[in-house]
Amino acid sequence: MCNNDRLFAAISSFDVIIVGSGIVGSACARELADAGLNVAVCEESVVGGGATAAGMGHVAVMDDSDAQFALTNYSQRLWWELAPNLPADAEFSGSGSLWVAADDEEMAEVHRKSTYYSARGVAVDVLDSGGVAKAEPNLRRGLAGGLRLPADAVCYAPAAALFLMRGIPLLRGTVTTLTPTGFELSTGVKVSTGAVVLATGVAAYRLAPELPVYPRKGHLLITDRYPGYLNHQVIELGYLKSAHSHDADSVAFNVQPRVTGQLLIGSSRQLGVADPAVENAMLRRMLARAVEYMPGLETLRGIRAWAGFRAATPDNLPLIGRRPGHPNTFIASGHEGLGISTSLATAKLIADELLNRTSAIPRGPYDPARSFDPHA
């Protein structure tokens, strides 16, 4: 590691510098370094200290769109390949997800998802009311059923980011401007490099204002340790109805078992809020929703609540690829709530484009140059 600006400027031999050391930046750094490039990462604060630390850390497959499925599915495979090498503090746990359906309408969604995933080779189990009660005894009785995805996992992303960064120089500094040949730091130091990968999450617009990335605030609460209380990550299927509406604030029941025995309880989504403070009203709404599904949560002790910002985009897909009009700048941002899940695939796609490799999945849907006009 090096903090020294002069040394920083003197090292102009890096092929690529990644700006941002969240899970996405760290994954890009790892992928490019493993491809033989001379890579460094520039970080203004702590490794994995932004949305990577604030988020839940799930490695999930999602199917809002075919493109979202392709990216999450590809990335999850990469996570399972990486899993045996991850250190214990990355807390990777293949506990699986359980989507719960409250009523027949949501049960229809279970069947739709089941068909969709099965057709694409993703293992799923459809559970009836009794099956859900057996899988998660602390859920309220009388739920219609659920869908289990055994391959879904959770991890502690800041530790995973640090692991991915191993051996890669970490340069401390705040990037204020991107230049055609690199970037400039807040200290005035100019750094030149072969290419820049912008992986600053929600702060992407600060350096590339044309990017359609905006903050979506979320709250979480973690409990003390209650080993055995929960077996899967549990998510309500109402999530889909509420989570991706772009105008209203929403909450959804989403609870995760951590390796520590702690429970991580979410989730909330708010647009147009810049204050990072925990909001009582939002937290209460979120916890009330969780207690509706899992009444016993009321007696457990919460030890910490916080809020963070996801990097949202108009079409709920990340921006991965060359920045339009800037041949040496690459964007890896806009992952919203799926940054951990899709980080490893994002890194592959960035490296593929930078090195002119063929990609395992089509890159077009994530191209920062795509049209965001829904009527186009």
Partner 1 sequence: MPEIRVDGMAVNAAEGVTVAIALLSAGRNRFRTSLSGEPRAPLCGMGVCMECRVTVDGQPHALACQVVVREGMEVAT
Partner 2 sequence: MIVVVGAGPAGIAAALAANECGRAVTVIDENPAPGGQIWRGDADQRWVVRFRNSGIPLLAGARVVWGDPVSRTLLLELPDGARQIEYETLVIATGSRERFLPFPGWTLPGVFGAGGLQALAKSGLPVQGKNIIVAGTGPLLLAVAAYLRGKGANIRLIAEQTPAASLWPFGWNLAKRPAKSLQGLRLAWDLAGVPYVPASWVVSANGEGRLQSVVLNRRGTVVTEECDYLAIGFGLQPSTELATLLVGPDTLVAATGDAELALLEGRAAGYRAAGNVPKAAAMDPDLRRARAFADELDKTFALRDELRHLADADTIVCRCEDVPLGRLEGKDSFRDAKLHTRCGMGPCQGRICGPALNFLFGWPDTSQRPPILPARIGTLLAEDQGLRE
H helix or E strand, kind and range, residue 280: helix 280-293
Please choose which of partner 2, partner 1, none residue 297 contacts, taking the beta carbon within 5 to 8 angstroms, the exact cut-off set by kind.
Answer: partner 2
Cβ burial of 376 (10 Å; 0-12, 13-18, 19+) is exposed
Please choose which of partner 1, partner 2, none residue 226 contacts, taking the beta carbon within 5 to 8 angstroms, the exact cut-off set by kind.
Answer: partner 1
Q: Name the strands in the sheet holding 319-323, side by side, starting at the edge strand that comes first in the sequence.
A: 170-172, 39-43, 16-19, 195-198, 326-333, 319-323
CA-CA-CA-CA torsion sign (7, 8, 9, 12): positive
47 vs 319, beta carbon nearer partner 2 = 47
H helix or E strand, kind and range, residue 18: strand 16-19
Residue 15 bridge partners (DSSP) = none
Question: CA dist 251 to 269, 277, 278, 287, Å?
Answer: 6, 17, 14, 9
Q: Is residue 299 close enough to count as binding partner 1 by CB under 8 A?
A: yes
Structure tokens at 11: 């090292």
Looking at 37, 291, 360, 370, which residue binds partner 2 (CB under 8 A)?
Answer: 291
Minimal distance in Å, beta carbon 247 to partner 1? 40
271 vs 291, beta carbon nearer partner 2 = 291
Q: Is residue 284 close enough to count as binding partner 2 by CB under 8 A?
A: yes
Q: Is residue 298 close enough to count as binding partner 2 by CB under 8 A?
A: yes
Please choose which of partner 2, partner 1, none residue 375 contacts, taking the beta carbon within 5 to 8 angstroms, the exact cut-off set by kind.
Answer: none
Minimal distance in Å, beta carbon 89 to partner 1? 13
Q: Is residue 305 close enough to count as binding partner 2 by CB under 8 A?
A: yes
301 vs 375, beta carbon nearer partner 1 = 301
Kindly determine how many residues on this chain lie close enough to bind partner 2 according to the rule CB under 8 A.
31
Q: Is residue 88 close enough to count as binding partner 1 by CB under 8 A?
A: no
Minimal distance in Å, beta carbon 38 to partner 1? 40
Structure tokens at 311: 């990097």
Structure tokens at 71: 């990216």
Q: Is residue 89 close enough to count as binding partner 1 by CB under 8 A?
A: no
Q: 38 to 97, contacts with partner 2 by CB under 8 A?
A: 46-49, 53, 89
Q: What is the pattern of x (binds partner 2, CB under 8 A) and - over residues 153-192?
A: -----xx--x------------------------------
Looking at 288, 327, 371, 372, which residue binds partner 2 (CB under 8 A)?
Answer: 288
**For tokens 């990340």, what's the residue?**
318
**Cβ-based neighbour number of residue 304 at 10 Å:** 11
Q: 218 to 257, contacts with partner 1 by CB under 8 A?
A: 224-226
Is there a contact between 262 and 224 (Cβ–Cβ < 8 Å)? yes
Is there a contact between 88 and 362 (Cβ–Cβ < 8 Å)? no
Q: What one-character DSSP code corresponds to residue 227?
A: T
Supply angle C-alpha 172, 217, 319, rounded to 5: 65
Is there a contact between 199 and 20 (Cβ–Cβ < 8 Å)? yes
Minimal distance in Å, beta carbon 8 to partner 2? 17
Structure tokens at 89: 């503090």
Please choose which of partner 2, partner 1, none residue 259 contacts, taking the beta carbon within 5 to 8 angstroms, the exact cut-off set by kind.
Answer: none
Structure tokens at 214: 């905006």
Binding site for partner 1 (CB under 8 A): 224-226, 299, 301
Binding site for partner 2 (CB under 8 A): 46-49, 53, 89, 158-159, 162, 221, 223-224, 265, 278, 280, 283-284, 287-288, 290-291, 297-306
